[in-house]
Amino acid sequence: MEPLAALPEIEIRLSNAADAAALRRLAMLENRHGFEGPALIAFICGRPAAALKLDGSDVVADPFVPTAALIQAMRAVASPDPGRPNRHRLLKLLPGTPG
């Protein structure tokens, strides 16, 4: 039996003023002029990978990184099910984590 591949370190949090350059870079990678407003930002192994506006209206992501599952997890955090804590919803959506 082969060992499981190491899962990347993933961090999802509210963006802040220190993330402005990372948000601009993600927008530029998608040939957009900017991405402003309250947002969640996701990092894979410490590198910005995607951002989602808190109202769910817009997303930017690094097109060179597979981010579909990450964006799905971010959407779950941004619009939580009132009956379940966000952390549990997030863990269910990320591959390789116990649900």
Asked whether residue 89 is assigned to any structural domain, the reply reads: yes
Structural domain count, the chain: 1
pLDDT at 39: 92
14-48 per-position pLDDT tens digit: 999 999 999 999 999 999 988 888 899 999 999 99
Q: Which domain holds residue 75?
A: 10-93
Q: Give me the sheet containing 39-44, strands edge to edge.
A: 10-14, 39-44, 47-53, 59-61
Asked whether residue 19 is assigned to any structural domain, the reply reads: yes
DSSP assignment letter at 14:
E
Asked whether residue 60 is assigned to any structural domain, the reply reads: yes
Asked whether residue 4 is assigned to any structural domain, the reply reads: no
Which two three-digit tokens encode residue 5? 């591949």
- Cα–Cα distance for residue pair 74/54, rounded to 1 Å: 9
Asked whether residue 17 is assigned to any structural domain, the reply reads: yes
Q: What is the mean pLDDT of the chain?
A: 81
